[in-house]
Amino acid sequence: MDIITMLDELQHKALHTLDIRNRFLNTRHEKEPLSAFCNICRDMGYEIYEMDLICAGEEFHAAMKRSTNGGGENSPMLAGEDDFYELFMASIEC
């Protein structure tokens, strides 16, 4: 299972189970939020590690840039658009 699929499943669970949502949202208050997030993912049976999440975000953003405007480096990056952790958090906030 790829990381996008795992994050989609976790997002679905977080949106439908308050305890899971709160566990994820509380990672924002940790000293190492990304590590805390990944620990919860692994506790739930999803093998997600920090570098997997970072690389997936960067690869996704690079693929988007290649698919638009001839794939040049002139496409500005919007803040956080390659940060799957922050995108996940934004998606489960109420």
* Cα→Cα distances 10→23, 74, 75, Å: 12, 34, 31
Q: Provide the CB-side half-sphere exposure for 85 (13 A, CA).
A: 23
Q: Which residue has the higher pLDDT, 80 or 32?
A: 32
Q: Looking at residue 53, what is its pLDDT?
A: 86
Which pLDDT tens digit goes with each residue over 24-76? 999 999 999 999 999 999 999 999 999 888 887 666 655 555 555 555 555 55
Q: Looking at residue 38, what is its pLDDT?
A: 96
Q: Where along the chain do its domains lie?
A: 1-12+32-65+81-94
* Position 84 confidence tier, pLDDT thresholds 50, 70, 90: confident
- pLDDT over 60 (residue 93): yes
Q: Looking at residue 83, what is its pLDDT?
A: 80
